[in-house]
Amino acid sequence: MTDKRVAVVTGASRGIGRAIASRLAADGRHVVLVSRSADSLESVKEAIESAGGSAEVRPCDVGDSEALTAMLDAVSDAHGRLDILVNNAGITRDGLLFRMSDEDFDDVIRVNLRSAFVAARVAGRMMMRGRFGRIVSIGSVTGLIGNPGQANYAAAKAGLSGLTKTLAKELGAKGVTANVVAPGFVETVMIADLPDAVMDEVVKRLPVRRVGQAEEIAAAVAFLTSDDAGYVTGQVLAVDGGMTG
């Protein structure tokens, strides 16, 4: 049991997820680190605890609905609460429309969208009992404007917006908010393999003339999961350097 607010962050082993987990821990939350890789999560936990924060590791494949449900139930049983859910886990299976298989489409929908639905269904009940909750899903500007070769990813991220707006309406009266943070180009391993020429062209088109940092996405999540954001719900916040402005 803990007096701290308990925050579950999926996909917490690296990149944006790791930055979010670290920021929430720095803000005084007890952070539950979720990913398929226990070893990677342990390094995040050690870094958080070295900085004075509180965290635990819960390995889980969020694409497995039964495992995800069981993990969230276990968190609630262990702490008597679940206050914050950050749906960050995601995969890509890129390919142009006529080359994309049904399996590649379904895998991305399962991990990127269905997991958020399942997690919200479980966590939402706990949050309503406590009359406080913050659900933040990490979308993408791809879900707002589309991107060639990412029909599955764009559909999943766009779906998060519709899911979130519905959650906001269904759960709002019980003190539970739901929002999406939609990053643009952020310096993570997902864009590390892009050629320099491509990145140079991307940066030229951004009003801020640079890519974002994972910590900047984490800052937006930190606000939306705070007490100060109780009147912000059903929103899609693009953190994209003006890309979709």
Q: Which of 89, 92, 86 is nearest to 191 (CA)?
A: 92
DSSP 66-77: HHHHHHHHHHHH
Please list, in sequence order, all residues whose beta carbon lies within 8 angstroms of the beta carbon of residue 161, skipping any fewer than 6 positions away. 139, 143, 144, 180, 236
Q: Is residue 153 flagged as an active site residue?
A: yes
What is d(CA 228, CA 162) in angstroms, rounded to the nearest whole number?
24
Handedness of CA 194, 195, 197, 200 (dihedral sign): positive
Distances in Å between the Cα of 40 and the Cα atoms of 47, 155, 186, 203 are 11, 29, 21, 31
Q: Which of 16, 153, 178, 180 is catalytic?
A: 153
Amino acid identity of residue 222, one-letter, is A
Please report, as a single letter, which amino acid is at residue 216.
E
DSSP letter for 149, please: T
Residue 236 host element (H or E): strand 236-239
Strand, coil or helix: what is 6?
strand
Q: What span, in angstroms and rounded, lies between the C-alpha atoms of 32 and 221?
A: 15
By annotation, the residues acting in catalysis are 153
